[in-house]
Chains A and B, each alone.
Chain A
Amino acid sequence: MIIDLTQMQPNQSGILHKIHGGTGFMGRLQSMGIRPGKRISKVSSHFWRGPQTVEIDNLQIAIGYGMAKKIFVEVSK
């Protein structure tokens, strides 16, 4: 099942499927290690469309809600 990052539950993990957006945005995410094929797990999401924190490799990254909406993850049901 493919869902976007904001729909993931805390502690849920999956494989990053696709990123929607311009090359600048993709480039920025990629160079931080956020790119398709990577295992990504959700750490927390903040209230009222707040930032989403994820863990990728060994690193936690905070991503704004709007950006997180454009990041799609394949999770097992």
Chain B
Amino acid sequence: MKLNKILLMGNPNVGKSAIFSRLTGAKVSISNYPGTTVEFTQGCMKVGEERPMIIDVPGTYNLNPTCKAEEVAIRMLKDGDLVINVVDATNLERNLFLTLQLLEKKMPVVIALNMWDEVKHKGIHIDINELEKKLGVPVVYTCGLTGEGIKRMIERVKEAKVQPTQMSSDIQKWEKIGEIITDVQRLTHHHHTLLEKLEDLSIKPLSGLPIALAIVYIAFWIIRFLGENLIGYVFEPLFEKLWLPLMMKTSVFLGRSGILHNILIGNLVDGAIDFGQSFGLLTTGLFVPVAMVLPYIFSFYLVLGLLEDFGYLPRLAVLVDNFMHHLGLHGYAIIPFILGLGCNVPGALATRILEERREKFIAATLMALAVPCMAQIAMIIGLVGQRGAQYVFIIFSTLFIVFIIKGLILNKILKGISPEILVEIPPYRIPQPQAVIKKLGMRLSAFLKEALPLVLLGVLLVNILYSLKIMEFFVNIFSPILTGLWGIPKEAIFALIIGFFRKDVAVGMLGPLNLTSKQLVIGSTVLAIYFPCIATYVVLLRELGVMDMIKATMIMLFVALIVGTGLNLIL
């Protein structure tokens, strides 16, 4: 048999991605919560002389899909030649249901009994040889995080062949699983570990809610502390001491004016370069993404990575479930929002873990509207924070209020009910430093590769826009809204236009406009609400479809209009 496509399949959160990463060396996101992988990822592996493609399929409990991520999984099955069925060895019984379904689909299967390292201290004993005999397929124990057993698994891929099985009902399958389990698995008593006690405490409401508040508070405190200090002690000095002199020389070399000077260095403020206001490619274009945004991206993803790998997020989801129901969502929708705080693009993709179309629509529009990404947050803290913390507070509380009101309204007017939460809560696991660092590195390099070019393009566009005559026309058309309703200078329309590309650059553009603190607050809030950046928009368009996206766009523009005007009246 020739192997072209191998599928990695299994229940959610059993470690498919960890094994995938071991097999291919590819960089994929691995966390400790169900639904980390919502899209399939493919790579190449080596089996003897062959180099088949291997696909990391989103987790699924059975072959009847209940959400988009599972649909993706089941569609993949048709094209596969072989399935590596990743099984959580600590939950053998439940995992075998999918295994039997796969065997009935006449797929050659190899079983990877993953998380083998956890089996021993959970007091579980599994007779692998017996399991192999019962199922008639190769069974190998593995540990995706350390790589144990992976080599032996690859060696045995060739032994997998289609099993002669009869179709059976669900009940028959469970009976069969019951027989298998009695023969191959033995449980011995084990003492509750400290982590398990902590698991219980953080899921009980009386202790769980204070713990959640503390964790969220500490998380944001660390993010701010790290971000601020990285900027203050590392990045700003680097730019001021090393890059500024070089840029000043370049400025003189270019004759301190002219088109090329304006594009590369930008405008001189009082005869000097101002990294925040000059708006040249080499000055503001580098300073904004590297010195203002990157430190916050770093600290956010470091903290997020630790929480993800520890397994805290599903617990938070359960604790906020009640509250989220008022917004037409269930608790697990907090996952897209948390990811969206880093960058709205992965957040938008993560809405796939939600079951209903209505839920996805609410979650996606709420995120686009009221969940600013870390790049934008960093700029708001950097720029508005200079005027005083209270202004930053006004912006974020406005967004939070918008989030709640819009959720309440959509929940009322959209037909249908919000489905209930049904999610497994993984055990706490101590995050492994290498894994955390690797994931952080992936996210940082994704930011530099994807965001940096767009930031530079945005800054270039700023320069071009300012020099175009047609823009005066635009400025005048929108001035009734900007000056009339929102009370900000009509030139701020440039920031709104650039906001389509990058929100961080757009917020930065408010800097040189000499706004009052009130105007700065209104400008930043409107920028957060009126439209997601183009990258997010494209993903949302794909996820929601054209019609829903038109609706979503109308909502965003409408809310921006109302909130901007409201703030102008109240403040």
Contacts and interface: CB of A to CB of B under 8 A. Distances in A.
Interface string A47-77: 1111101000111111111110000000000
A58 B427 CA distance: 9
Interface stretch (B92-100, B225-233, B436-444, B517-525): B92-100
Given A27-B62, A31-B62, A53 B422 contact: no
B420 A65 contact: yes
Contacts of B204: 10, 43-44
Contact of B319 (A31, A33, A46, A57): A46
B94 A33 contact: yes
Given A24-B64, A48-B322, A59 B205 contact: no
Contact of A30 (B97, B203, B317, B420): B97
Nearest to A33: B94
B95 to A, nearest CB: 9
Interface string B77-102: 00000000000001101100110000
A62 B208 contact: no
Nearest to A47: B205
Interface string B93-130: 11001100000000000000000000000101000000
Given A24-B64, A31-B97, A60 B424 contact: yes
- The secondary structure that dominates the B interface is helix
Contacts of B64: 24, 27-28
B170 A27 contact: yes
A26 B188 CA distance: 30
B94 A62 contact: no
Contacts of B532: none
Nearest to A68: B420
Most B CB atoms within 10 A — which of A24, A27, A43, A64? A64
Contacts of B62: 27-28, 31
B422 A62 contact: yes
Contacts of B422: 28-29, 32, 61-64, 67
B203 A43 contact: yes
B182 to A, nearest CB: 13
B200 A43 contact: yes
B315 to A, nearest CB: 9
Given A28-B61, A43-B200, A57-B94, A66 B170 contact: no
Contact of A53 (B91, B122, B124, B318): B318
Interface residues of A, number: 31
A21 to B, nearest CB: 12
Contact of B321 (A51, A59, A61): A51
Contacts of A60: 199, 203, 424-425, 427
Contacts of B424: 32, 59-62
Contacts of A67: 420, 422
A27 B174 CA distance: 12
B203 A32 contact: no
Interface in B190-213: 199-200, 203-205, 208
Most A CB atoms within 10 A — which of B124, B321, B330, B427? B321
A32 B95 CA distance: 8
Given A32-B61, A35-B174, A59 B91 contact: yes
Contact of A50 (B93, B98, B205): B205
B203 A47 contact: no
Interface in A9-47: 10, 24, 27-33, 35, 43-47
Nearest to B331: A51
A44 B112 CA distance: 33
B94 A46 contact: no
A49 B425 CA distance: 19
A62 B423 contact: yes
B330 A33 contact: no
B487 interface: no
A41 to B, nearest CB: 11
B66 interface: yes
Nearest to A26: B170
A59 B311 CA distance: 13
Given A50-B205, A58-B122, A33 B318 contact: no
Nearest to A62: B318
Interface string B418-439: 0111111101000000000000
Given A31-B94, A35-B174, A51-B331, A64 B199 contact: no
Contact of B421 (A30, A48, A64): A64
A11 B427 CA distance: 18
B328 interface: no
Contacts of B98: 31
Nearest to B61: A31
Contacts of A35: 174
Contacts of B421: 51, 62-64
B15 interface: no
Nearest to B178: A37
B322 A46 contact: yes
Contacts of B199: 60
29 contacts: A28-B62, A28-B64, A31-B61, A31-B62, A43-B203, A43-B204, A44-B205, A46-B205, A46-B322, A50-B205, A50-B318, A50-B322, A51-B318, A51-B420, A51-B421, A53-B318, A53-B425, A60-B199, A60-B424, A61-B422, A61-B424, A61-B425, A62-B203, A62-B318, A62-B321, A64-B321, A64-B420, A64-B421, A66-B420
Interface of B: 61-62, 64, 66, 90-91, 93-94, 97-98, 122, 124, 170, 174, 199-200, 203-205, 208, 314, 317-319, 321-322, 330-331, 419-425, 427
Given A27-B170, A50-B322, A64-B330, 10 more contacts: A30-B97, A31-B97, A43-B200, A46-B318, A51-B322, A59-B91, A60-B424, A61-B423, A62-B425, A64-B420
User: Which 9 pairs of residues, A with B, have the shortest CB-CB distance?
Assistant: A64-B420, A33-B94, A31-B61, A31-B62, A60-B425, A44-B204, A50-B322, A62-B318, A51-B321
